[in-house]
Copies of this chain bind each other. A is one copy, B any other.
Amino acid sequence: MTFDEFGLIEHLCQQSPRQGPHVRVGIGDDAAVLTLAVGEEQLVTTDTLVAGVHFLPQTLSMEDVGYKAVVSSVSDVAAMGGEPRHVLLALAIPENAALLDLEALYEGVAEACREYRCTLVGGDVVHTAGPLVITSTVLGGIPAGTALLRSGAQQGDVVFVTGRVGGSGAGLALLVDPGPFAVVPEDEWVLQSFHRRPKAQVEAGLILRQEGAHSCNDITDGLASELNELATASRVRLRVDAQRVPVASAVRNFARARGQDPLIYAWYGGEDYQLVGTAPPLGFARALARCASVGIELTAIGRVEAGDGVVVEWEDGRQDVLAAKGYNHFPQKSEAEDRG
């Protein structure tokens, strides 16, 4: 594909919100100029998605790709307890990329920007001889000194998780290999949506921060990996009750039809973008009440104690150390890891 250099980005970005609060100068100059309220700090995070590594044509449409590129970074801001505001999108596109595909991708970006009230303030588009590479950068604001870190977990805290987990991993498994297994149409739709349109937990993050949560992480690589990150960063042990881990019924049905333990999708499936963290019991109770009042599920799944690592207690009383097994989208591919 060849294209008019300035015209393309102008064309692609026109669906996205480009002016908004906290934007003095938006897309189109050398740099965007953003404002912060007095007493706020700036959050910033970046994530890269690669065709063939993070998605395949049968797992995500181009709209889904654009949407998830933004959501993956918005989720990092949510995990700090912040308010996402600004998006920059850098694309390396194959020479033969179709304009329709790029338009679809940016439509997904615009959809996510509208949903999370973000403004598209910059980016870059270049060619590559390889597959599509998308890097999203999201900025947000947060009251100074209040960001939820991975390292804040304290003995006596409740370990919590928002929403239901494992849905994105089960959805991916279904999309990659529908197989001969019976999945009812409602479950199929739910599982695909979990994978294609995961929701960043911005409102939950705000509530948890305001109610004094001590630590938080978003679930990009599966609960096992995220719990271990919290334990390691905070130098504590997280003890989790396997029975309490909230797994969607569609995931349970899906796993059982395949003779699998539904929890494998919760532990090792990535991209749920739910939040996992720890809070003192009173703060957790307050956050639970507020979350319930706005329809957000918040579940206590364990507690923080002295020690290290993550221990799972099973229904029969057995205990296991839960290792931080990584998450690969497609088992034949290996994949590196983001670090905020």
A34→B24 contact, CB < 8 A: no
A27-B339, A46-B137, A76-B30 are contacts. A127–B333 as well, Cβ < 8 Å?
A: yes
Per-residue 0/1 for A48-69: is the Cβ within 8 Å of any B Cβ (1 yes, 0 no)?
1110111000000000000000
With both beta carbons as reference points, the residue of chain B lying nearest to A50 in the complex is identified as B128
Given contacts A33-B142, A34-B41, A77-B31, contact A127 B24 (CB under 8 A): no
Of residues 74 to 123 in A, which have CB atoms within 8 Å of B's CB atoms?
75-77, 79-80, 82, 86, 88, 90-93, 95, 121-123
Q: How far is the CB of A189 from chain B (nearest CB, A)?
A: 29
Interface residues of A in 5-55 (CB under 8 A from B): 5-6, 8-10, 24-25, 27-36, 38, 41-50, 52-54
- Contact status B46-A133, CB under 8 Å: no
Contacts of A9 in B (CB 8 A): 336-337, 339
Q: Assess whether A33 is in contact with B124, with CB atoms less than 8 Å apart.
A: no
A41 pairs with B29, CB closer than 8 A:
no
A326 in the interface (beta carbon within 8 A): yes
Contacts of A335 in B (CB 8 A): 126-127
Shortest Cβ distance from residue A5 to the other chain B in the assembled complex, whole angstroms: 3
Max chain B C-beta neighbours (<10 A), residue from A3, A50, A93, A126:
A126
- CB-nearest residue of chain B to A7: B337
Least CB distance, A178 to chain B, in whole angstroms: 25
How far is A269 from B50 in the complex, measured between Cα atoms in Å? 31
- Measured in the bound complex, the distance between the Cα atoms of B35 and A91 in whole Å is 28
Interface segment out of the listed A144-152, A250-258, A259-267: A144-152
Docked complex Cα distance between A333 and B131 (Å)? 16
Contact with B along A320-340 (1 / 0, CB 8 A): 000000100000011111111
- A28 contacts across to B, CB distance below 8 A: 150, 339-340
Q: In the complex, are the beta carbons of B27 and A43 less than 8 A apart?
A: no
Measured CB to CB, the nearest residue on chain B to A77 is: B31
| Residue in chain B with minimal CB distance to A34 | B42
Q: A53-B128, A145-B24, A336-B126 are in contact. Are A41 and B46 (CB under 8 A)?
A: no
| A47, B2: Cα distance in complex, Å | 19
* Closest Cβ–Cβ distance, residue A92 to chain B (whole Å): 5
Q: List 26 A-B contacts (CB under 8 A).
A: A2-B334, A9-B337, A10-B339, A25-B147, A28-B150, A30-B80, A30-B217, A31-B79, A31-B80, A32-B43, A33-B142, A34-B43, A34-B44, A35-B144, A38-B38, A44-B121, A44-B137, A48-B92, A48-B126, A48-B135, A92-B92, A126-B338, A127-B334, A127-B336, A129-B131, A130-B133
Q: Which 9 A-B pairs have the closest CB atoms?
A: A130-B130, A5-B337, A31-B45, A135-B135, A30-B76, A124-B338, A30-B79, A125-B336, A34-B42
Q: Which residues of A contact B (CB under 8 A)?
A: 2-3, 5-6, 8-10, 24-25, 27-36, 38, 41-50, 52-54, 75-77, 79-80, 82, 86, 88, 90-93, 95, 121-131, 133, 135, 137-140, 142, 144-145, 147, 149-151, 216-218, 233, 326, 333-340
Given A3-B336, A9-B339, 7 more A-B residue pairs with CB atoms under 8 Å apart are A8-B336, A28-B339, A30-B218, A31-B76, A31-B340, A33-B142, A127-B335
